Chain A
Amino acid sequence: MIALIWLALTVAAYVAALWIARRVHNHPLANPVLVAAIPVIALMLATGTSHADYAQGGNWLLLLLGPATVALAVPLYRNWPKVRAAALPLFLAIGAGSITAVGGALTLAWAMGAETQTLLSLAPKSVTTPIAMGIAQTTSGLPSLAAAIVIVTGILGAIIGPWMLARLGIRDPKAVGVALGTAAHGIGTARAFQEGEETGTFSGVAMGVNGIATALLLPWLLIWLFG
């Protein structure tokens, strides 16, 4: 019963966040994940609700993330000629962006004195939560810290990404999509779909390819670096 109330509150907060986003013409700062999470967290604090109690309701939505990810196949199928024509640039961009994000994060955090366990949890920050948690697990990082870092990365990328790319004069929907999907996984892809189907499709491809490549390669790199 309580779980259902939190589920309903989460959906209500999301609907309100969408309304706000529309009022400001989908400005990236009005990120629906962030805007919806804030009142829910405030209510939990006000009512003394633990995260475990919340999760009993909230996890129903998390469950839908699976089929929603599978659904990315539909715009991909519809835009297949465009994606195939840009296959090589896509792979190069995803590879370069992914290596930059992982290498940059590790180097910066290491230089600032972060512990090894933190570094191992930080490395998979650009990929979707289940992959990041899996990598943290196999490399003896902290899966829950990895998950939190992934979400922060996604929200940050979705908020700053479109703004910064526009500042740099990059408006090509394909390029914006590839960047969001490579650096900010599903939350970046959700943002990309707010911008348009082409942006969203390229973001989805980048998210998938980066996720698969990271899942297969990053554990080896980390074991070699820190093992």
Chain B
Amino acid sequence: MRLLAFAGAAAALVAAQLVGTYAMSALGLPIPGAVAGLLVLLAGLAVLRQLPDALDDVATLLLRHLNLFFVPAGVGLMAHLALLARDGGALAVAITLSTLAGLVVAAFVFMWANKGVPDGEGQ
């Protein structure tokens, strides 16, 4: 039974992605199906007003190992070394500094704007 619930939860994730993919292509929007599927599942949970245990378990497992799904992309960098070497110095400096700047600005703006905003806990 437990296995069946797990399979159902996994199927729900895939179904949400499919619905998202079709909706975006129907609307002609350049948003990946998985990102749209996130919104589909969120809307589904909002309607359901509860989180099925099996879905919680499957999602927690996938998110705990989110890094795993990026490893092939990391390996893929090997194939792109020649491309990255193009304008290499400029790219390295631009990527490093702009990423750091983006991180710091996002964090500070959030801290500044979030001052005095209640936590939302206990609502």
Contact = CB atoms under 8 A, between A and B. Distances in A.
Instruction: Say whether A and B bind each other.
Output: yes
Nearest to B76: A51
A165 interface: yes
Interface in B6-25: 10, 13-14, 16-17, 20
Interface in B39-78: 39-42, 45-46, 51, 55-56, 58-60, 62-78
A145 B51 contact: no
A13 B71 contact: yes
A213 to B, nearest CB: 10
A34 interface: yes
Contacts of B42: 73, 76-77
Query: Which range contains the number of A residues in contact with the other chain?
Result: 35 or more
A37 B103 contact: no
B1 interface: no
Contact of A131 (B32, B39, B68, B111): B32
B77 A152 contact: yes
Interface in A105-142: 105-106, 108-109, 112-115, 118, 122, 125-126, 128-131, 134-135, 138, 142
B103 A161 contact: yes
B41 A73 contact: yes
B3 interface: no
A112 B111 contact: no
B107 interface: yes
A103 B99 CA distance: 11
Q: Interface residues of B: mostly helix, strand, loop or mixed? A: helix
B117 interface: yes
A20 interface: no
Contacts, number: 354
Given A108-B94, A144-B80, A145-B83, A68 B120 contact: no
A76 B35 CA distance: 13
Interface string A155-172: 111001100110010101
A173 to B, nearest CB: 11
A61 B68 contact: yes
B90 A44 contact: no
Interface in B69-123: 69-80, 83-84, 86-87, 89-91, 93-114, 117-121, 123
B88 to A, nearest CB: 10
Interface in A63-90: 64-78, 81-86, 88-90
Contact of B102 (A73, A122, A126): A126
Given A68-B62, A97-B105, A109-B94, 10 more contacts: A58-B71, A67-B14, A68-B69, A81-B120, A81-B121, A112-B94, A147-B76, A156-B96, A178-B106, A179-B110
Q: Which 8 A-B pairs have the closest CB atoms?
A: A97-B106, A85-B120, A101-B102, A58-B72, A37-B74, A104-B98, A112-B90, A89-B113
8 contacts: A67-B62, A69-B35, A85-B119, A96-B106, A128-B35, A145-B80, A147-B80, A208-B39
